Chains A and B, each alone.
Chain A
Amino acid sequence: AQTVTQSQPEMSVQEAETVTLSCTYDTSESNYYLFWYKQPPSRQMILVIRQEAYKQQNATENRFSVNFQKAAKSFSLKISDSQLGDTAMYFCACEKTSYDKVIFGPGTSLSVIP
């Protein structure tokens, strides 16, 4: 079974600084997809970034980038130049390629401090 672990329940960062959120996962699949989702307070969940496990190159989306370590089953999210609007719950998630169900981690609550 797939599991996703996020060891940092809460984090904070100063505005304009960089922060890294950690995620580890466990899957028996050889190929899969990894995601980071953002859920702002009282707002819907949105996809931030995705990574295909068979691609070695780390994904980037503007200020968001990942550090994907397949052997270590680690998938961290780096947010550069943090903005107040980045304050949200961040969920790491994993999906098997042969089975379209996403498993989510418990989340990290990020606060950006002005």
Chain B
Amino acid sequence: DTGVSQDPRHKITKRGQNVTFRCDPISEHNRLYWYRQTLGQGPEFLTYFQNEAQLEKSRLLSDRFSAERPKGSFSTLEIQRTEQGDSAMYLCASSPLTTGGFGYTFGSGTRLTVV
């Protein structure tokens, strides 16, 4: 297993366009998380899944954002009608246990630039 993979690494898009990011977690991890990180700040929680169920969405996740995890494997994060304020690093992480406490394995992130 090569860890958590995110694709693409970088995305430049024009304002108003839709973008989709993909995350492939470690295969045996049943929890998957999405965070957003702006320059010089800590990651902010967006949403997380346990298997295919989306258990929580942050209020940061406006109705332009949607996330899925079909079949409890990879996950996608879509942003519709992108705005300049969406420019950030989008981090995906996974963890193996339902009880928590063991920390996350992070991917390298997708850096989104909206021009």
A residues touching B (Cβ–Cβ < 8 Å)? 4, 33, 35, 37, 43-47, 50, 52, 91, 93, 95-97, 99-107, 109
Interchain CA distance A46-B105 in the complex, whole Å:
7
Residues of chain A contacted by B112 (CB below 8 angstroms): none
Return A63 CB to nearest CB of chain B, in Å: 18
Which residues of B in the span 3-49 have a Cβ within 8 Å of any Cβ on A?
31, 33, 35, 40-45, 48
Interchain CA distance A103-B45 in the complex, whole Å:
7
The answer to whether A106 touches B56 (Cβ under 8 A) is no
User: What 14 new A-B contacts, CB under 8 Å, besides A43-B108, A97-B99, A101-B33?
Assistant: A44-B108, A44-B109, A47-B103, A95-B100, A100-B31, A100-B50, A100-B95, A100-B99, A101-B56, A102-B103, A103-B45, A105-B42, A107-B41, A109-B40
The answer to whether A100 touches B103 (Cβ under 8 A) is no
Residues of chain A contacted by B103 (CB below 8 angstroms): 35, 37, 47, 50, 102
The answer to whether A102 touches B42 (Cβ under 8 A) is no
A50, A101, A103, A105 interface centre (most CB from chain B within 10 Å): A101
Residues of chain A contacted by B31 (CB below 8 angstroms): 100
The answer to whether B41 touches A33 (Cβ under 8 A) is no
The answer to whether B40 touches A107 (Cβ under 8 A) is yes
Interchain CA distance A45-B98 in the complex, whole Å:
21
The answer to whether B104 touches A97 (Cβ under 8 A) is no
The answer to whether B43 touches A50 (Cβ under 8 A) is no
